[in-house]
């Protein structure tokens, strides 16, 4: 059976989107009997014990998947598709886990390739977004796979993070971190081979955010799993990143003041206006992140506050907090813990993420603490190991101790910052990813830093790994910039045809006619040439 949250998608209002042009490598038509559980043997997976294998043949399936649900891809329109849904459950004996994996197999239009889709937030996969991505991948002819890493449909860590007060569920955390990823690749390849009578000619992974971290983990730890990886806006350096996400709340708790979001939004808007033209074109998109802007110059400025529907002045507290967020979290001794976001990054809610700052405001003009669960759950459950811990009174000394303890205990498990990609390189693997320069949740400089560390180890990194900067793009999707819906296809062509992606074609969403921009491979940056029509991609260069 399809999960209930995927069944719900069947009733969405259809919208027409172009389908990617992929050549089918499989010309046969699968008989319904091939989708019987008796026709598909259990995979061979070292260290695992399979608990169940169920199948369901889905016919005449139609869906429209927007690119916002299909990271690294464009939108896909699926019409009257048929596929076999194979669901397997297994455990690692002695670890007390139960992991669910779904493999979807196109019945009559397989293109000879496998695509695994990643997760987001605390979800390893098999979430709403992952299932939509699987739908699109299946519609494009891929056999496709995703895993829940044993966390179930509600992966919120309050449901699984602690076995008991003081005792972290390290087995499930390790499943999320890495183990389930390679398991899913082995399972999907085996089931694909059993179903079609031949293995996939090429195997790929695609993800953003948590999915981007998963992609890096696969390249670093399981280099044989996939021929190509599209890993965007990766949540690597997990421990330091979570302290960056916790930093705004800590600052407000320390000051005992919680400004409304309208003040933060006004500061971001002013920063964009100040930095916009530094790249040679005033278009609401900041391509040059070296711009300097002092938010203290806005203190006392009157704005229309949407939180209350009244006018309000920007406070010194809001300006101080924003400046500290841009600088990134720091210890009491002013030592940097990690990077902060760029100045054009919005703290408001995005498609993939909650608001970076979302204080609860009442009609009388006051706001109260409203923490971001992603970082609060990490600190409470995995670092302090106490679900009842009160973080609102945390001192700077305690913040520093939490940051150190987090890194000390979980660095080797989750951080995915190993610069040695030699095994992935030597087996011919290719990796491509983009990172939005206006990403407030996962600062783009973290991706730049990782790429720099790989380049320091291997000066030929550009031959197998390319990171593209996306000006104006927020976390994974959204924002004023051009979204690189060609990321996956560029990676696939690099693997299959040897076509090196010197730029990534990107499109500013919801514009008529479409506005195109080329994205540049780091460390190059996008520059406007100042010639002719700024809406055409040939007016930009990579320097």
3 state DSSP class of 57:
strand
Sequence-distant (≥ 6) Cβ neighbours of residue 306 within 8 angstroms: 261, 262, 265
Is-contact 453 490, C-beta < 8 A?
no
3 state DSSP class of 483:
strand
pLDDT recorded at residue 21: 34
Do 150 and 35 lie in one domain? The reply is yes
Is-contact 528 280, C-beta < 8 A?
yes
Do 336 and 452 lie in one domain? The reply is no
Average model confidence (pLDDT) across the chain: 91
DSSP 40-56: SPPP--TT-EEEEEEEE
| Residues 163, 112: Cα–Cα separation, whole Å | 43
Do 314 and 367 lie in one domain? The reply is yes
| Residues 191, 202: Cα–Cα separation, whole Å | 15
* Residues of the chain above pLDDT 90, percent: 81
Number of separate domains in the chain = 2
Where in the sequence numbering do the catalytic residues fall? Answer: 209, 439, 475
Give domain status of residue 425, yes or no: yes
pLDDT recorded at residue 179: 98
pLDDT recorded at residue 319: 98
Is-contact 233 474, C-beta < 8 A?
no
Do 191 and 282 lie in one domain? The reply is no
In this predicted model, what pLDDT tens digit does every residue of 198-238 receive, in sequence order?
999 999 999 999 999 999 999 999 999 999 999 999 999 99
3 state DSSP class of 96:
coil
Question: Does the pLDDT at position 512 exceed 90?
Answer: no
Do 66 and 189 lie in one domain? The reply is yes
Do 365 and 454 lie in one domain? The reply is no
Do 353 and 386 lie in one domain? The reply is yes
What predicted TM-score, i.e. pTM, was given to this entire model? 0.93
DSSP 193-244: HHHHSS--SEEEEEEETHHHHHHHHHHHH-TTS-SEEEEES---SHHHHHHH
Do 211 and 62 lie in one domain? The reply is yes
- Average pLDDT of the residues in 407-411: 97
Do 37 and 157 lie in one domain? The reply is yes
Identify the bridge partners of residue 107 per DSSP, sorted by sequence position: none
Question: Does the pLDDT at position 137 exceed 50?
Answer: yes
pLDDT recorded at residue 3: 42
In this predicted model, what pLDDT tens digit does every residue of 445-458 receive, in sequence order?
999 999 999 999 99
pLDDT band at 15 (very low <50, low <70, confident <90, very high): very low
- Average pLDDT of the residues in 81-101: 97
For the stretch 139-153, what's the b/e string if a residue is b when 16 or more beta carbons lie within 10 angstroms of its beta carbon?
bbbbbbbbbbbbbee
Please report, for the domain that includes residue 32, its CATH number: 3.40.50.1820
| Residues 272, 267: Cα–Cα separation, whole Å | 9
Question: Does the pLDDT at position 25 exceed 70?
Answer: no
pLDDT recorded at residue 509: 80
Closest CA to 534 of 273, 288, 287, 282: 282
Do 225 and 130 lie in one domain? The reply is yes
pLDDT recorded at residue 533: 56
pLDDT band at 12 (very low <50, low <70, confident <90, very high): very low
* Domain end point (choices 412, 431, 458): 412
In this predicted model, what pLDDT tens digit does every residue of 338-380 receive, in sequence order?
999 999 999 887 665 677 888 889 888 889 998 889 999 999 9
Do 122 and 214 lie in one domain? The reply is yes
Q: Which domain holds residue 134?
A: 4-236+415-507
pLDDT recorded at residue 277: 87
Do 358 and 248 lie in one domain? The reply is yes
Question: Does the pLDDT at position 335 exceed 90?
Answer: yes
Sequence-distant (≥ 6) Cβ neighbours of residue 290 within 8 angstroms: 278
pLDDT recorded at residue 304: 94
């Amino acid at each position: 059976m399809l999960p209930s949250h995927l069944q719900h998608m069947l009733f969405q209002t259809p919208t027409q989107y172009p389908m990617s042009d992929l050549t089918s490598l499989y010309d046969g038509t699968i008989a319904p009997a091939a989708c019987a559980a008796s026709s598909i043997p259990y995979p061979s997976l070292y260290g695992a014990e399979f608990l169940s294998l169920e199948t369901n043949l889905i016919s005449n399936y139609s869906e429209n998947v927007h690119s916002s649900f299909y990271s690294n891809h464009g939108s896909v329109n699926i019409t009257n598709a048929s596929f076999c849904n194979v669901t397997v459950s297994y455990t690692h004996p002695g670890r007390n886990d139960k992991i669910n994996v779904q493999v979807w197999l196109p019945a009559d239009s397989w293109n000879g390739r496998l695509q695994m889709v990643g997760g987001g937030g605390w979800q390893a996969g098999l979430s709403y977004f992952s299932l939509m991505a699987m739908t699109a991948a299946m519609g494009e002819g891929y056999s496709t796979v995703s895993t829940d890493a044993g966390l179930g449909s509600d992966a919120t860590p309050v449901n699984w993070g602690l076995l008991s007060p003081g005792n972290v569920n390290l087995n499930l955390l390790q499943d999320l971190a890495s183990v389930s990823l390679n398991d899913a690749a082995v399972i999907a390849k085996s089931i694909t081979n059993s179903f079609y009578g031949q293995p996939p000619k090429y195997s790929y992974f695609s993800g953003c955010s948590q999915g981007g971290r998963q992609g890096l983990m696969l390249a670093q730890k399981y280099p044989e799993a996939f021929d190509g990886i599209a890993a965007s806006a990766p949540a690597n350096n997990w421990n330091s990143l979570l302290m960056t996400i916790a930093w705004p709340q800590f600052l407000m708790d320390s000051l005992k003041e919680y400004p409304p979001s309208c003040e933060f939004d006004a500061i971001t808007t002013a920063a964009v206006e100040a930095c916009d033209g530094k790249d040679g074109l005033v278009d609401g998109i900041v391509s040059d992140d070296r711009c300097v802007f002092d938010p203290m110059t806005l203190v006392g400025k009157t704005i229309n506050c949407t939180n209350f529907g009244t006018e309000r002045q920007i406070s010194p507290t809001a300006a101080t907090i924003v400046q500290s967020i841009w600088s990134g979290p720091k210890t009491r001794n002013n030592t940097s813990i990690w990077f902060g976001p760029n100045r054009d990054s919005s703290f408001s809610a995005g498609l993939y993420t909650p608001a970076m700052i979302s204080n609860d405001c009442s009609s009388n003009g006051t706001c109260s603490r409203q923490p971001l669960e992603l970082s609060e759950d990490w600190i409470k459950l995995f670092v302090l190991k106490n679900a009842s811990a009160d973080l609102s009174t945390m001192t700077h000394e305690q913040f520093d101790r939490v940051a150190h303890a987090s890194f000390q205990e979980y660095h080797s498990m989750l951080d995915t910052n190993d610069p040695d990609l030699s095994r992935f390189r030597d087996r011919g693997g290719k990796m491509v990813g983009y990172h939005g320069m206006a990403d407030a949740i996962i600062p783009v400089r973290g991706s730049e830093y990782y790429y720099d560390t790989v380049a320091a180890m291997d000066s030929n990194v550009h031959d197998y790994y390319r990171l593209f900067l996306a000006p104006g793009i927020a976390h994974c999707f959204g924002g004023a910039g051009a979204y690189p819906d060609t990321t996956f296809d560029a990676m696939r062509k690099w693997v299959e045809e040897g076509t090196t992606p010197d730029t990534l074609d990107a499109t500013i969403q919801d514009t008529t006619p479409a506005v195109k921009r080329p994205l540049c491979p780091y460390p190059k940056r996008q520059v406007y040439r100042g010639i002719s029509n700024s809406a055409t991609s040939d007016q930009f260069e990579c320097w």
